[in-house]
Amino acid sequence: MDNRFAQMKFRYLILWYVLAVGILIFSGITYSIGTGGSMTGFITFSQFVLYGVAILWLRRAYHKHDMSVKDLFKPIQKSNGIGKKALFTIYHLTFSLAAVTFIFYLFSFLLPDFLIEMLEDGDATQSFVSATSIPSFFLIVLVAPIVEELVFRGTLLQKLRYKYGNVAGIVVSSAIFSLIHMNSGMIGHFTLGVFLSIFYLQTKNIWVPIICHALNNLLAFSGFLVDSGSTETSMAEAITEIQQVGQYFGIYAFLSLIFLVWLAVSQIKKLNSKDKRSMETTEGVNLSSN
């Protein structure tokens, strides 16, 4: 493992983000007051700006430590198993959707008012994506997977695993990855982060998690567009449908979660064993050379 990752300061990225968000909020308020027009275009622009901030931080951090982001990208090889990992990504998305549906099912009985707010937020997001389909596609399917994988798997994961080991690195980086999305799919974002981390550590090629992340986002984006063209249903009808099928989605999500936990644990154990053998080999070479 490269100890230069441990020296990278993520607090600067956080500071840059806070400043950028502050400037964007002020600019958005000024724009809204000055023009009185729709904020759709400005919101899209702001999202691109925030990803741009992450790219600038990556360039600065890698350059400061005599590293290159390009080194994270390697040619795709058959041994990377990209086909199997892509199929797994599709399966994982079904788990994520089932988990969200089951959470909605529980909220429909326990917190019905909160569920209505969540569904309304979902409708607003769907409308936004439909109204900005081209830039949203570019942002969600292309920009987000590349930038987020470089930050979370290519850099933060490496920093954390160097300091605390594979388990802590995978869990903490995936938790932060989930938290920044802050929506009803946080469980799915966390488990996706776990397996994208495993994919990267298995292959040492950032293209692999980027492709799987892009596939996940493409399918989700397509779902938004399909739903936006479907017949509108009232909020009461939507909740009734959730209550009719939610328990079945819950069973599927629970069984899938058991499988995902078992798979993640087994794969992390293999990674730990591989790292241990690699360290023993390196130590043996060093001893023999001395």
pLDDT at 249: 97
What pLDDT score was predicted for residue 165?
94
Helix axes 40-64, 112-131, angle to 10 degrees: 90
60 CB-side CA count, 13 A: 11
List pLDDT tens digits, range 201-260: 999 999 999 999 999 999 999 988 877 555 556 788 889 999 999 999 999 999 999 999
* pLDDT tens digit sequence for 60-116: 999 999 999 999 999 999 999 999 999 999 999 999 999 999 999 999 999 999 888
Cα R_g (the chain), whole angstroms: 21
* Residue of 146 and 121 predicted with greater confidence: 146
C-alpha to C-alpha distance for 238 and 116, rounded to whole angstroms: 10
140 band by pLDDT with thresholds 50, 70 and 90: very high
Taking a C-beta distance cutoff of 8 angstroms, is the pair 161, 1 a contact?
yes
* DSSP string over 200-248: HHHH--THHHHHHHHHHHHHHHHHHHHHHTSPP--HHHHHHHHHHHHHH
Token pair for residue 80?
């990377």
Question: In the prediction, which pLDDT does 280 show?
Answer: 74
Q: What is the pLDDT of residue 34?
A: 75
Record the pTM.
0.92
Interatomic CA distance for residues 109 and 146, integer angstroms = 39
Share of the chain above pLDDT 70, in %: 93
| pLDDT at 41 (0 to 100) | 81
DSSP for 59-109?
HHHHHHTT--GGGG-----GGG-HHHHHHHHHHHHHHHHHHHHHHHHHHHH
- Give 267-288 pLDDT, tens digit per residue: 999 999 998 888 777 666 656 6
DSSP 8-state symbol, 7: G
pLDDT of residue 100: 95
The predicted-structure confidence for 158-193, as pLDDT tens digits, reads as follows 999 999 999 999 999 999 999 998 777 899 999 999
Helix axes 40-64, 10-35, angle to 10 degrees: 160
Higher pLDDT, 180 or 124: 180
